[in-house]
Amino acid sequence: MKAIWSALGLVAAITVAKGNEGDWCKAIPWDIGQVPVDAESPWLQSLRFGAYIHLQAAGVDGRAANRDFHYDNLLDVRRTRLTMSAQAIKALNLSVHANMDEDQGGTGGGVEFDYISLFTAYVELDLTKWITDTGFKKIAFGYGKRKLIELNEEDETSINLILTPERSTLSNFVVPFRAGGGTTGAWTTVGWGNESVSIGVFSSDTSPEFGTWDDGTLLVGAWRHDFAKSWGVDEAILSIGGAIQDVKAGDEAYSAWEWVVTPWLRMRKGPWELRVSGVYGELEGPDKTTGGPFGGVTVMPAYWMVKDKFQWVARYAVMSSDAARGLQLNGRYAREAGNPANEGIPSLAAGRGDFHQSVYGGFVWWPCPKHWSVLGGVEWEQLSSQSVNVYRGTTLWLCTRVVF
């Protein structure tokens, strides 16, 4: 990890050198995938191909199963994706993100670069682009595979723009990415004034491509209001969402919950930002060790030291359940340490408990704004079950993301 930190430190020194100020970024063809089209054409208004890659390094010092351990993953190819976006007939938007790597480094394997699965792939038709003067800002209908952005602020934010190397345990518990992608469904969004409402029905099938409708279903909805003007701030979005899952014996479950209510708030004024996400719901089960009520909250303030260049970030997350094994840690990197190929601690690899909390502090640095970011920080984390320690430890994080 020392070599990685040293290399990034050298880039930082070059970036802030007098007379440079990152102008070298302009020489990189970030928009090489932009296809020249006539924006006034009635058929195709835009077409863009892109890609992004995320690399991570982490070191974990912790205690689990009454033993201390240390675990490093110094080069994790976290994501490699190809993307395509387009707008046609003025109102139809198409988006595709394809997973192009499978990293098994955490279980003793290697990295395979190839087409693996669809992360997201959907179309959305906005009727207000065709029919104006309706009083509505948006009347859209969509179908395809996407994230359930109605349920959590961290998931509503692009993975290229989140302020921490990994989303919180709460976020990944509420909106998991099983089979490396979103879930398939149909939805409608209506927006007017400062309000918007979104309702959708999704499949719980986790196929690598588009899911079928043979398994369970999820009914998802959210109401949003823009308070920025009335509160006198640059941004203030309040969302109150929720979902209910209908599964039968033998069906795949989308997540461990049966139903959830999920409010979140995002505010910004000057260099300050605040993001808060909450959840309360009922776990599906199937027994008393994994079923019952649960809830939690994340609070994430941030401050721009240098606008669009360097940002300080902090996050506190806490979650609890009535079930002794109702909650589960993120897969990276503490649970990864428990795998047989690493420290061989089964209880840590499972990562199950009834109380979890974490405290993160770090930074986001943009050597090339919008295209290249570096994130680093430290996170303390605790998981217990019926007041017995399952895991307690500290993770040192380093992450870099490049977006074309």
By the 10 Å C-beta count (0-12 exposed, 13-18 middle, 19+ buried), 311 is classed as: buried
Q: Answer for the pair 89, 97: CB distance below 8 angstroms, yes or no.
A: no
Q: Would you write out the chain's pLDDT as a tens digit for each of its 404 residues?
A: 455 445 455 455 444 444 445 578 989 999 999 999 999 999 999 999 999 999 999 999 999 999 999 999 999 999 999 999 999 999 999 999 999 998 776 666 778 899 999 999 999 999 999 998 888 999 999 999 999 999 999 999 999 999 999 999 999 999 998 767 899 999 999 999 999 999 999 999 989 999 999 889 999 999 999 999 999 999 999 999 999 999 887 788 899 999 999 999 999 999 999 999 999 999 987 766 788 999 999 999 999 999 999 999 999 999 999 999 999 999 999 999 999 999 999 999 999 999 999 999 999 999 999 999 999 999 999 999 999 999 999 999 999 999 99
Q: How far is CA 19 from the centre of its chain?
A: 36
> Quick one: pLDDT at residue 288?
66
Q: How far is CA 297 from the centre of its chain?
A: 16
pTM for this model (two decimals): 0.91
> Quick one: pLDDT at residue 284?
85
In order of start, what are the domains of the chain with their CATH numbers?
2-403 (2.40.160.10)
> Quick one: pLDDT at residue 276?
98
> Quick one: pLDDT at residue 228?
97
